[in-house]
Structure 1
C-alpha cells in the first residue's frame, strides 16, 4: 500500500470516528485555483469538529506539480479585500509539510482547537510550494464564524417558476448549478430549486448569510440580494460552484 493510500485510509477512519456524540459531520470547502502555476489543480478542505477542544482539518488536493514539496497555512481573515483568499490575513495555523505523488496528488492532516481555525471573523487556507511560499496554486475559504443568517425561506416545489421582475431562478442539478453565472439587480430574490436526485446545499463565503439547510429533490431555498457585488456560492457536499453578480438598480 502506498503512503498516499495509507493516509486516505487514516483520513477515512478519522472522519468517521465519533467522540461521545460531540463530533459533527465534516464540512467541505472547495479549493480555488490561484495564479497559473497549476491551472488544473483542484481539491477540498474537510473540517470536522471532534469535540469542543479538538478538530480535524484534511487537505486533499490533485493536479499539483508531481513529486514536489508543499506547505499549507490557515490564515485569519484579513481586511484587505472582500475576497477572503486575497485579504492578506496573518497565519494562525500551519499544516504538516507534504509532498505530491507522481500524479500531483497529496493529503495533509491537522488537529487543532476549533477556535483557532476561524476565530471570530473567518479564515482561509493557502497551499504554497515549499521552495517559494509566494507560489500559491490553491486557496480555500472557510465560512465566517458567529454570523447569523438573515431570514430566508425553504419550501418544497415540483416545478421551477419563471424568472420575472425582481425574482430569478437557479436550478440545482447533480454536480452543477444552472446558470453558473447569473446577473441580477439589487433587491432581487434568487431561488435555488433542487432538480437533481441526491442531496445538495447552498453556501457562500463572500456572503455568509447564504447558508441553506440540506436540500432534497423538489425543495428550494431563497435569498434576497441587496448589496452590489459578485458572490461565489457552492455545495459543501460536492465539487460544484457558481457566481451571482448583483448590480445597482
Structure 2
C-alpha cells in the first residue's frame, strides 16, 4: 500500500472519531475548483467534520498537482469584494501544515482546529498555493456559509457590495473578459499570473496601471456609463471590456 493510501486511510479513521459524550455532526464535503492559474489536471476535496464543540478535523485530498512540489493551504474569511467566496479576497484565518506532493502529484493534509475558527464569518474558502509563490493558486474550495456568516454579511450594505468588483489577471487573459457594473463601482484587478502585466485603456485614459507583478493589485472607479475596452500592452490579444450602467 502506498504512503498516500495509508495516510488517506488514517485520516479517514480520524474523521469517524468523536469525543466522549459529544454528538458528531455529519461530514461535510466541498469540491475544489480550478482557479486563474490552473493546472488542468488538478482536483480535490475538502472534508470537514466537527467532533465536539471545541474540536474539528479538516482534510484536504488533492490530486493532479505538480509532482514532488511544496504547497501550502489556508482558510480565508469571506471578503466583501465578490459574491463568489473564492474571488472575495478575504484574509487568512487558519493555515494547514505545509506539505509536499508525492511523485503522482497527490497529497492528503490534516488540520485540527476549534470549529469556531472555521465557522460563521471565518473559513469561507480554502486556497491551495504553491509554496514558492503564494500568488499561484491552482485550487480553491468554497465553504458553505453558516447562518452566522449570512447574518454578518447582511449587515454590509447592498451598496458597498455592489460597488466593488474584482477582475483576475491571468497569463494572457483577464477574468471575466466582460463585466457589467453600475456607475461608481471600483474595479480591482488582481494579478494571479506568473509574468508581468499591466492594465491600460484608450477609451478611458485614466485607466493606466504601473507594471503589475504576481500578487499585486490595481483599482479604478468607473463613474461614466458606457462600454470600455482595456488591455495589457505586453501581450497581444489580451483585452477585456467593462460596461458601466446608470444606477
Using structure 1 for the length normalisation, give the TM-score: 0.57
- 1:139 corresponds to: 140
User: Which runs of 5 or more structure 2 residues have no equivalent in the other structure?
Assistant: 151-247
How many angstroms apart in 2 are the aligned matches of 1:130 and 1:144? 28
- 1:5 corresponds to: 5
Superposition deviation, residue 16 in structure 1: 1.4
The 5-angstrom pairing of residues 201-240 of structure 1 reads none
Q: Which has the larger radius of gyration?
A: 2
Contact 1:122–1:143 (Cα < 8 Å) also in 2: no
2:111 equivalent to 1:110: yes
- 1:98 corresponds to: 99
| Higher helix proportion (structure 1 or 2) | 2
2:56 equivalent to 1:17: no
Contact 2:55–2:115 (Cα < 8 Å) also in 1: yes
Change in CA separation of 1:45 and 1:65 when aligned onto 2, cut-off 3 Å:
same
- Aligned-residue CA RMSD (Å): 1.8
Contact 1:41–1:138 (Cα < 8 Å) also in 2: yes
- 2:120 corresponds to: 119
How many angstroms apart in 2 are the aligned matches of 1:71 and 1:7? 18
How many angstroms apart in 2 are the aligned matches of 1:65 and 1:131? 12
How many pairs were matched up?
Answer: 149
- 1:199 corresponds to: none
Superposition deviation, residue 10 in structure 1: 1.4
Superposition deviation, residue 121 in structure 1: 6.2
How many angstroms apart in 2 are the aligned matches of 1:92 and 1:3? 30
User: Which runs of 5 or more structure 1 residues have no equivalent in the other structure?
Assistant: 150-249
Superposition deviation, residue 7 in structure 1: 1.4
Using structure 2 for the length normalisation, give the TM-score: 0.57
- 1:68 corresponds to: 69
Change in CA separation of 1:122 and 1:69 when aligned onto 2, cut-off 3 Å:
closer
Contact 1:56–1:110 (Cα < 8 Å) also in 2: yes
